[in-house]
Structure 1
Amino acid sequence: MECVVSAVVEKRLGVLPVAAEFPRRLGLAGTVDRLCPGHDIAHLTHGQVIETLVANRLTAPAPLWRVDDWAREWAVEEVFGIESELLNDDRVGRALDAIAEHLTELTDSIGARAIGEFRIDVSTCHIADSKLVSYRNITTLIKAGTGFIAPVPASTVDDAVYAALDLDAATVVDYSPARDENTPAERRETYRVEDTHVLSGPRKRDPQVEVRRILVHSTGNAKGQQRARDKRLAKAAREELDKLQRGAGGRYYNTAEKIAARIGVIAKTRRVTGCLRTSITTDATGRPTLDRHFDQDVLRAEAAVDGWYALLTTLTPEQADAAEVLRCHKGQGTVERRYGDFKGPLTPVFVQDNKRVAALVTVICLARLVFCLIERQVRRALGSDQKMPGLYPGNQQVRPTGRMILYHLSGLRLRVVGATDPPIIVISRGVQLHLLDLLGLEPTHPRWPET
């Protein structure tokens, strides 16, 4: 076997240039250095280290250990101008220690910079779910003059309210979730004319509070609830009740008391207590027998309330009609997806000191901010439909997500030919070039020029 030593070195480039550009626009390194000035003789500032750690979370979110190995494999020196040996565990730990004393100031400063630099609309804030709806919370928000929209806990609205509604008379909302955007209008979510809801305080002398309520019907929720009920009934019947019915009078269920006890367990476990009807009798030999069925009237009553839920809001009809209230509430899904991103690809933690854990969580939050801004930038550059081809097999057009953007850009590589020759960026797929163009970056050099 003949071995050839080549002077050509390839490093992983991936999303590093993007992960460098967005923190630069946020002024991340400068903010950290202002809050946590280091020694003049240090090879790296704390800001440089934290900026690099954000890139590390976006490109290789493994437990935080041997970051220098990651920097050596990736084109960190070419993009950030930092030699991999300088990012040893001790240096990373000291940077985390430094920002641990200034986490609030750091996140506040970067958050404010992001709002201004990227022109983010912060007029609406999604912060709560149905747990917001309590007498104390609602009265506090009303007193403060804060408008809100919140889903009502299911137990708060009696099923009779939903059962009395006429779905055919409901107005079709000009809204559909992304997964159902091609669904015919007659099958989209609908809402009924709003009414009012009265909240009573925990004490009798507390004044009642009346707020606006929007009653919403979701065809998607209705189908999901029907499927779940059918599944519960099928499991209760086929897997358990049929077996009990065959075994009645046998070795294990030879008395009516044992059969009744087993029925109670099945009904509770499968949540069919309200609709299950049973009768335990004895045959000519004195053996107990079981007859059972599901009450169809009860099942029809349950189906009548499928898909309905309620929203409470202090917004007046002049501020937002019922359809607009629903659209605003649906924005909560974006926030929940961001929490999913936080718990998923950016989060591994492998530090033991509490201060460093808090600092690393802040670094992960900063990485998540960059992650969200990357997705936002690509979607805004795509225009109104926010779709592009090439992300999935089949070339169908879909909305790009942050995960998918990072996945495709992760294939970029940097080829270093020699000390005097400029490095070459290797692009293997057209979608990578398209994404770089949407991000406003030209693949001419790993350090893209400032805008």
Structure 2
Amino acid sequence: MYTSQGPISSRCSTGSGPAMIQTHFLGPHPLIRHYLARLNVEGILRSHLPQGRTGALNHGQAICVLVHNILASPGPLYRLENWVAPIEPGALGLTTGQKGAINDDRVGRALDALGSPRAREVWFHLALRTIKQWRLSTERVHFDTTSVTFFGEYTSSVDEPRMDTFFTPGYALIFTRGIGIQLLFFRVLFVFEATNPLRVFLL
């Protein structure tokens, strides 16, 4: 969509003589930056990712630049440095020096940090921020992958799996035989009559 961003500067002729036109590419980036700031994405990432060797950019800033890239003009990481070159640094919330530090290696380190065990709380805090900022009703939107596993003999169990479907407000319980099957349906209860082990997924 925004893969061809044009030259950074060009020459032209005016009534007063030659002139230089300086191009500052903004595109959709101020709008993307507004929502990233409203969600406090950079702050949450900075607080919950191991920083290590970051240089001019912290991991939160690097990942936010990647979000800009994915939303505006997705492409391979090795092209990221060329993609960001003509964009005005302020449109990304960066200084000139920080923009110059953007490359595939830097963003790759940030993605490694995002995949670390310490980053598990990032998604919770982003979801919580989203709920608060847009005042989402959690009566309808609720996602919880907490699971409980039971082991033992059940007198009512049968050899062949049987599924009965019930409707119930607020919860979805899934009983599976052997391999847990995670079916996420709001306000629906699926019951699989099964033998051991019995696995219950709570929403």
TM-score between both structures, scaled by the size of structure 2: 0.58
**Alignment match, 2:201:** none
Deviation of the 1:41 alpha carbon: 7.4
Deviation of the 1:202 alpha carbon: 7.6
**Alignment match, 1:86:** 101
SS of alignment partner, residue 67 of structure 1: helix
SS of alignment partner, residue 77 of structure 2: coil
Question: How many positions carry a matched residue from both structures?
Answer: 146
CA distance in 2, matches of 1:108, 1:95: 19
Dislocated runs of 4+, deviation >6 Å: none
**Alignment match, 1:7:** 20
Partner amino acid, structure 2, of 1:85: G
Contact 1:11 1:74 in 2 (8 A): yes
The one of 113, 116, 121 aligned to 2:129: 113
Contact 1:11 1:73 in 2 (8 A): yes
CA distance in 2, matches of 1:200, 1:50: 42
Contact 2:80 2:103 in 1 (8 A): yes
Larger strand percent: 2
Partner amino acid, structure 2, of 1:96: L
Partner amino acid, structure 2, of 1:99: L
TM-score between both structures, scaled by the size of structure 1: 0.28
SS of alignment partner, residue 81 of structure 1: coil
Change in 2 beyond 3 A, CA 1:16/1:78: closer
List per-residue Cα deviations over 1:63-83 (Å, max 9, x = no partner): 222212111122234441243
**What are the equivalent positions in structure 2 for 1:170-249 lying under 5 Å apart?**
none
List gaps (5 residues or longer) in structure 2.
1-10, 13-17, 144-160, 173-185, 196-203
**Alignment match, 1:191:** none
CA distance in 2, matches of 1:23, 1:53: 12
The one of 181, 187, 193 aligned to 1:148: 187
CA distance in 2, matches of 1:73, 1:85: 11
List per-residue Cα deviations over 1:389-413 (Å, max 9, x = no partner): xxxxxxxxxxxxxxxxxxxxxxxxx
Contact 2:164 2:192 in 1 (8 A): no
**Alignment match, 1:62:** 75
CA distance in 1, matches of 2:192, 2:59: 53
Between structure 1 and structure 2, the one with the greater Rg is: 1
List gaps (5 residues or longer) in structure 1.
128-133, 151-198, 204-451
Contact 2:33 2:91 in 1 (8 A): no
CA distance in 2, matches of 1:14, 1:37: 32
SS of alignment partner, residue 23 of structure 2: strand
**Alignment match, 1:34:** 47
Contact 2:29 2:91 in 1 (8 A): no
Deviation of the 1:103 alpha carbon: 4.5
Instruction: State percent identity of aligned pairs.
Output: 26
